[in-house]
Structure 1
Amino acid sequence: MPSSDEPTTRVKPPEMIVIERRAGGRLLLRLLLIGLVVSVMANLAQFSSYQEYASSGEGPNERFESGELTADDKIAIVEISGTIMPPFTERILKTIEHVAEDEAVKGVVLAVDSPGGLVADSHQIYHRLQELRAKKPMVVTMGRIAASGGYYVAMGAGPDSEIFVEPTTWTGSIGVIVPRYDLSGLAEKIGVESDSLQTGKFKDTLNPLREMTADERAMWGEIIDDAFLRFKTVIADNRPELDLEEVSELATGQIYTAEQSLAAGLVDRIGYQDDAIDTLKEQLGLSEVRVVRYSYPATLIDLLTASAEARSTPDIWKQLLEAQVPRAMYFCGWPALTRP
């Protein structure tokens, strides 16, 4: 025990150090992080665009499907799936061009699984297939649905090519459609009037906020009739058993089952893709063949766009404006102005 004469040493308690986090500092940090993320995404998008541009001349990616992997001779599967519209049209055309230039490809299986799409795009594909069939034999196989524009492009294989449909395939729907929505009744209820400034009486045709006039209906009738006649003529030219009158009887917009389309002469055989490949091999006289198909890798821009669209809510004003854009379509399933 220390003596009372000895000096007493007192220990000072430790000082508390307080770090104050300022709200302004947190905000600055968040802004910097957001800027970094945006910068990285922008650079990745630019790099993806550069890759797509730089590789535009290389064509699609080829993938082995079946047959003999080491065989020199190839059968190419050209797929037409989904709605026929940009940017898929350009990819299909590029695939057709690639197949036409590949000397190892001896024959083509045109695999259609599409409800159709834009009139102009369908005819572009049909035209390129006509050129391809002049170089290489072709057969057609139809999947779940090959209707309207999907059937139109199948005619590109020509009158000498067999068309296979699966037992559950839907085809037909021969006709033309221009989507239009009449919102004039709704506009009247909520007090909205269409008062466009225009240079001619047809300039705002298909305006959804007013009823279509008789003159407008007659004008669009002529446009649709032109596309409709082309559709029927394409079928008559490429289906030996059908003439234009017989095609006209089938061209009611009706969807046909596999059995119905076979009985009507729209297709040749009920079978699967393997059956079409075997038929083409026999036609070409090939015992060993490498069956290939083609694909295009999804770019970063495609993925970002798809993600943004998935998260977005419907924009009624955007849809209203787009409803005024004329789109002639060989398409199955749209309620709109039709021409029987």
Structure 2
Amino acid sequence: MDDSQQKPVSKSMTTTHQSEKQGPPRRRWLVRGLVLLLLISLIVNLSFYALYQEYFMSSGGPTEQFEAGDRYATEKIAIISVTGTIMPPFTERILKSIKKAKEDDQVRGILLEIDSPGGFVADSQQIYHRLSELSKKKPIFVYMKRMAASGGYYIAMGSGEDGVIFAEPTTWTGSLGVIIPRFDMSGLAEKVGVVSDPLKTGEFKDALNPFRNLTKRERAIWDHILDESYQRFLNVITDNRKNLDYEQVKKLATGQIYPAIDAKENGLIDEIGYQEDAIAGLQEKIGLKKVRVIKYNHPASLADILLGSAEASQVENRKQALLESTVPRAMYLASWMGDLPGWQ
């Protein structure tokens, strides 16, 4: 068939063909837009859900979850769990759990479950203080899981002289001491031509400036601050470990980590065992044949929902480390734990 015999293509057919080509991309953009709106809606609803929980449930304290024992028993053993770095907002959750256990007359004993490398000095002291008050009313046993180092060991002393400390065979504990993280970037600053020249109202206002070396007077001040926290740590252990005196504790407080068998030999713990062993020992202590073992849980925050508590704390701490690198923060913390996931 020659060209003259071909039927002309109508304009309407050409337009229809072009629109068919353009149709699929338009539909794809529509689908993408709907998916984006769905994601935004999901995030907004999760935010409202978290705010609702925080507003209406925070005053009521933690909820109880059945763990072991007789589900229908009236009298209870309460597990208070300390996991990850001891720092806000987790400190407040622990304090609320302690308060609830203290006020609940059905709670006859407390198992303090620790899996922590430590944390802030002030937060460790707050938890220790509240546990010490609680131990005067109700017996507290301690169960150490993977790690109970530095501030994690400090709060274990809240169980008092009569408290019994259990640790798993693979538990690491110890790291008794204090650290103030500091980076000396003076060499780097000199290489890139950065000069630190802060405007300040006193000689020691920028004592931990990372872009210059510490002066002798500044180092003396911070040594005094560290020693005050260090001596407090030593005295807390001495007061609560009846088999150890001050000089024995001081010899152990080198920052060294102790595996469970060494910790027991040195008097830092009492028994090597698992959670069920600690519960059985506590149940025998309070003299109950039937008991309901419960664990305190807390409403999830928005960060918990979106990221999970471990990831959220890691992100938050990295952000703080970047923005507040010159802010002094004394810590009862295992210093080499900084880069392990979930231990930030």
Q: TM-score, normalised by structure 2?
A: 0.84
Structure 1 letter corresponding to 2:220: A
Partner of 2:253: 251
Q: Secondary structure at the match of 2:110?
A: strand
In the TM superposition, what are the counterparts of 1:208-227 in structure 2 within 5 Å?
Answer: 208-227=210-229
| Offset of residue 234 of structure 1 | 0.4
| Residue of structure 2 equivalent to 1:15 | 12
User: Whole-Å Cα distance in 2 between the matches of residues 41 and 297 of structure 1?
Assistant: 18
SS of match in other structure, 1:185: helix
For 1:104 and 1:36, the matched residues in 2 are separated by 46
2:12 maps to a residue whose letter is: E
* Deviation for aligned residue 1:184: 0.7
Query: What secondary structure, in the 3-state scheme, does the structure 2 residue paired with 1:15 have?
Result: helix
**1:29 to partner: Cα distance:** 9.9
What is the match of residue 62 of structure 2?
A: 60
Residue aligning to 2:173: 171
Partner residue in 1 for 2:142: 140
Moved more, 12-21 or 272-281: 12-21
Higher helix fraction: Structure 1 or Structure 2?
A: 2
The one-letter amino acid of 1:54's match is F
Instruction: Please list every run of 5 or more consecutive structure 2 residues that lacks an aligned counterpart in the other structure.
Output: 1-8, 339-344
**3-state SS of paired residue (2:249):** helix
In structure 1, the residue matched to 2:188 is: 186
**Which runs of structure 2 are paired with 1:256-275 in the superposition (5 Å)?**
256-275=258-277
* CA distances 1:108-166 after superposition (whole Å, capped 9, x unpaired): 11111111000000000001101111221111111111110000000000001111112
Q: Determine which of 80, 92, 95 is the counterpart of 1:93.
A: 95
Tell me the distance in 1 between the aligned counterparts of 2:60 and 2:131: 20
Q: Distance in 2 between matches of 1:214 and 1:301?
A: 43
Q: CA deviation at 1:333?
A: 2.3
Distance change in 2, residues 1:315/1:102 (3 Å): closer
1: CA distance between counterparts of 2:30 and 2:93?
45
- How much identity, in percent, do the aligned residues show? 55
Alignment of 1:18-167 (within 5 A): 18=16, 19=19, 38=40, 41-167=43-169
Q: Let me know the Cα RMSD of the aligned residues.
A: 3.3
Asked whether the equivalents of residues 53 and 299 of structure 2 are also in contact (C-alpha less than 8 Å), the reply is no
Q: Give the Cα separation in 2 of the matches to 1:163 and 1:184.
A: 45
Change (3 A) 1:80 1:33: closer
Secondary structure at the residue paired with 1:178?
coil
What SS is found at the alignment partner of 2:277?
A: helix
Correspondent of 2:335 among 317, 333, 336:
333
Q: Which has the larger radius of gyration?
A: 1
Indicate conservation of the 8 Å contact 2:108/2:139, yes or no.
yes
> 1: CA distance between counterparts of 2:45 and 2:293?
38
**Do 2:54 and 2:299's aligned partners in 1 also have CA atoms closer than 8 Å?**
no
Instruction: Judge conservation of contact 1:45–1:301 (CA < 8 Å) in 2.
Output: no
How many pairs are equivalent? 325
Determine the C-alpha separation between the residues in 2 that align with 1:313 and 1:71: 42
Asked if structure 1 preserves the Cα contact closer than 8 Å seen for 2:57 and 2:299, the reply is no
Q: Does 1:323 align with 2:325?
A: yes
Shift of residue 317 of structure 1? 9.7
Q: Deviations over 1:159-192 (max 9, x none)?
A: 0111111211111111000000101111111111
Q: Distance in 1 between matches of 2:131 and 2:109?
A: 12
Cα distance, 1:65–1:36 mapped onto 2, change above 3 Å:
closer
Tell me the CA shift for residue 48 of structure 1: 2.1
Contact 1:76 1:293 in 2 (8 A): yes
Give the Cα–Cα distance (whole angstroms) in 1 for the partners of residues 190 and 318 of structure 2. Answer: 17
Could you report, residue by residue, the CA deviation over 1:214-245 in whole angstroms, capped at 9, with x for unpaired residues? 11111101111110111000000001111212
Q: Indicate the residue corresponding to 1:7 in structure 2.
A: none
For 1:190, the aligned partner's letter is: V
When residues 236 and 30 of structure 1 are mapped into structure 2, their CA distance, relative to the original with a 3 A threshold, is same
* TM-score normalized by the length of structure 1: 0.85
C-alpha separation between the residues in 2 aligned to 1:252 and 1:60?
37
